[in-house]
Structure 1
């Protein structure tokens, strides 16, 4: 295995020459250094670096291999979150089984095994969206260079990234309901029942900075909250992703005084409502864990695990 850090640095410089690529913005070279130092004693780091290097090599040969660029981010994300969890728990990687799907990790907590299934989400549109972003950034770069070559000392070029835009004519970037429903859809598409059959299993969702939410995380974990800026009630995205029910009223921030904050009725059911075998959800967002645990009649150890590691909002637990 070569020096992965050097290869990634070269790739990042190549991408900067083109414009901007979202997945690579997530990569922290200091953590790559940590992985390379510890890979001889950390099998997860070793395997992750091996996979990362394979996809970096592909990308260096073809800068527009967007599938490879996304895989670099995914493998990096898995190792990064493993490292964070491993500092909090006695954590083991669950061996892969060809016969059936298995969760990613097993954590020993108070003498009981808790399983963790990790899913990394990417923006809607996948590789085509990343291609669009990079090409738009390259066009902006050419425009700015052209303005400077004309003698202009200052030049501006606006760009817009719409991670939830499916290309629909009625796309509304202010819609909280749209964010909730699309997150429910993306998470649901990644749920395989077999991966939750080993025992009490928590679903860990990594946004990887690909799918921003409108609210602050502390607000997003509430069913509804008061937004002081717009002076209106707003629905929390993460709470409703977990616990929302069909036809629940969803609210968004009013743009101006007197505008309705009604954002329509929820058309998709929350993940923990649709999949009762999932014992709880942990969201990894901008480097922090945010948790919503599902109340169970048997006083599930998952509840105590989450309570002992991360702040659990009472609104979520009292559902």
Structure 2
């Protein structure tokens, strides 16, 4: 459930009551403010929050504050009308577009904490790779903030929001360069890094895994289940191949470094493709009709670009396996 605090002008009271006159609105309260406005508090079922906010988005001079609800007493009765038993993709969504805005903004901010987490995860991954310790490598995956920029880029692409896309791209490029520079100089100073365990040659299974992780990550975010993202971060494996590529590049093992970087690039591409598809199917789109058409065009173009990049990766995978004498 969500508690919506809606601030409107007095003359908009009747129109708002029509919007709130649905069975998913459990209860509502109206109070008056000192500046001749009304504050309407409505307790809403999760599945209706997105539709209601879309209706309110087109109203001018309307401010909505969204509060998550842990529980209420007495317990609200279930909706009696069960005629429509069709379960659509949107039924699994427990979080609104407005709440997603807040969730994707923090992970892509180039704050001191974000940069520190990138640096720390790079060192942890490097130690795990050099010691060939899987547990340490998994620890680097968990603390690495690399998943956030890719999810937010897919979110911004679906909305056609250039501000989010630009912010995500800058954060992703900067964090990638930080990890790559650290591991590159580490590889130069570490001596012979040729004995570290190499990434396996990229395969179709790696592409499928990255796509599945992308779908899982976005569905977890849409369902408001941020805690399950830890498992997605581990499965996505963005930091280890990037750090391994830097170590090998610093040690002048260029072919092996390229192999690791291809795996890193594959994960990035697949995460974005899966994110765009999932956000689009979930109905994440701007509220205004002219923005929807623009967003669809940007989403289509971005999807084609990422798909082309994935096709090139698949071709590279087959070439690497063929040139490497795949058994």
Instruction: Flag whether TM exceeds 0.5 (same fold).
Output: no
- TM-score, with length taken from structure 1: 0.28
Considering Cα pairs closer than 8 Å and 6+ residues apart, tell me whether 1 or 2 has the greater RCO: 2
Going by fraction, where is helix more abundant, 1 or 2? 2
- TM-score, with length taken from structure 2: 0.28
Going by fraction, where is strand more abundant, 1 or 2? 1
Q: Which structure has the bigger radius of gyration?
A: 2
